[in-house]
Each structure stands twice: as C-alpha cells, then as structure tokens.
Structure 1
Amino acid sequence: MGYRVLAEVTMVVHFLFIAFVVFGGFVAWRWPKAIWLHLLAAGWGLCIVLFDLNCPLTHVEDWARERAGQSGLARGFIDTYLTGVMYPERYLDEVRLLIAVVVAVSYAGLIRRRARIRRG
C-alpha cells in the first residue's frame, strides 16, 4: 500500500509541477523571487520537450507502481495523463505553443509590474 500511495503522491506532484511550469510566471507577480524557481522549472520543462528527456518524477512513479504490483506508465507522464485525455493528440503542437504564450505573457506582465513599482 505504501508504494501505491507514493505513486499517487508522485502523480499529484507531477501535475503541480506542470501547472507551475505553465502558470508560475504569474505566481512571481505576487512573489517576485519565485521567478528564479520558475525559470528553473520552465527550463527543465523545455529541455524535456526539446531533447525528449525522461523526467525523474515519471521514473519515481513507474518505480512505485511496479513495487505496488501495478504496471508502470506505458508512455511518459504527459502522454499518459494529458495528451489524448485533456486535449486531442493532434493538437500537441498548438498546446505547446499556447503554453509558451502563457509563459511569455506572464513574464511580460512581471516585467511591466516591476517597472511600474520602480517608477513609484
């Protein structure tokens, strides 16, 4: 049972990480120092997409599921839980572009807010 709980917790953490990659720039509007953590997270997310890297969270979830007697993920986390579930697979490129736009808008807004604060 412990491994199953670990797998489920890892899955939730993975969803939270992806949400932070997409929306973390907006978090930095409230807590500006969070931008450094977001830059790391977004950079890691970009590397996973560009270089087809395996995420350590996926590895942990697979490992825990296998120890719990379940099958691991047949594909990566995003391919298992998001692509084809939250949006049709044929729109993967559009979803990636939308994510990039959301991140860019959050950074532009952060820069604008910081400039406004500096001006007084």
Structure 2
Amino acid sequence: MAYRFLADAVMLVHFAFLAFVALGGFLAWRWPRVLVLHAVAVGWGLVSVLAHVECPLTAWEDRFRRLAGEQGLARGFIDTYLTGVLYPREYLLAIQLAIGCLVVVSWVGFALRRRRVVRR
C-alpha cells in the first residue's frame, strides 16, 4: 500500500513538472527568480525529448508500481498517460511544438515586462 501511494505521488509530481515546463515561464512574470528554475526544467525537457533520455521520475514510479505488485509502466510516462490518451499519437510533434511556443511566448513576455519595469 505504501508503494502504491509513493507511485501515485511520483506520478503527480511528474504531472506538476510537465505543467511547470509548459507554463513556468508565466510564473516568472510575477516571481522573476522562477525563471532560472524554469530554464533548467526546459533544458531537461529538451534533453529528454531530443536525446530520448528517460526521466528519473518515470523510473521511480515504475519501480514503486512493481514493488506494489502492479504491472509497472510498459512505456514511458508521456506515452502511458498522455500520448494516445489525451491526444492522438500523430499529434505528438504538434504538441511538443505548441509547448515550445508557450515557453518562447512566456520568456518574451518576461523580457518585455522586465524592460518596462526597468524603464520606469
């Protein structure tokens, strides 16, 4: 039972991390220090997507699920919970590009807001 709780907790943290990768730049508009953490998260996201590096959170969740007597993750986190579930597999590249656009828009908005603050 504890392993299942840990697996579910890691899954929720993983979803929160993905949300932070997509939207964390907008948080920096209010709290500028978040931008450094967001840049690190985006960097990790790029490495995991481009180099096909498995996220440690995926491995932890899989291990905890197996220790709980469950099947574990047959595929990666995104393939298990998002691709083919929330959007069709053929839209994966479009979703990745949309998230990249969100990041760029949030960073450009951050820079414009900072420039306006500095001018005052």
What TM-score, normalized by structure 2, do the two folds share? Answer: 0.99
Gaps of 5+ in 2: none
Per the TM alignment, residue 72 of structure 1 is displaced from its structure 2 partner at its CA by 1.0
Q: Could you tell me how far apart the structure 1 residues matched to 2:99 and 2:7 are?
A: 26
Give the CA RMSD over aligned residues: 0.4
Aligned length: 120
Aligned to 1:20: 20
Q: Are 1:35 and 2:39 an aligned pair?
A: no
Secondary structure of 2:86's aligned partner: coil
Per the TM alignment, residue 53 of structure 1 is displaced from its structure 2 partner at its CA by 0.3
Q: Could you tell me how far apart the structure 1 residues matched to 2:66 and 2:85 are?
A: 23
Aligned to 2:90: 90
Gaps of 5+ in 1: none
Percent identity of equivalent pairs: 56
> Deviation digits for residues 66-89 of structure 1, max 9, x if unmatched?
000001100000000000111110
Structure 1's consecutive aligned runs of 4 or more residues displaced over 3 angstroms after TM superposition are none
What TM-score, normalized by structure 1, do the two folds share? Answer: 0.99
* Pairing of 1:34-53 with structure 2 (within 5 A): 34-53=34-53
> Deviation digits for residues 6-54 of structure 1, max 9, x if unmatched?
0000000000000000000001001000000000000000100000001
Aligned to 2:70: 70
Q: Could you tell me how far apart the structure 1 residues matched to 2:17 and 2:7 are?
A: 15
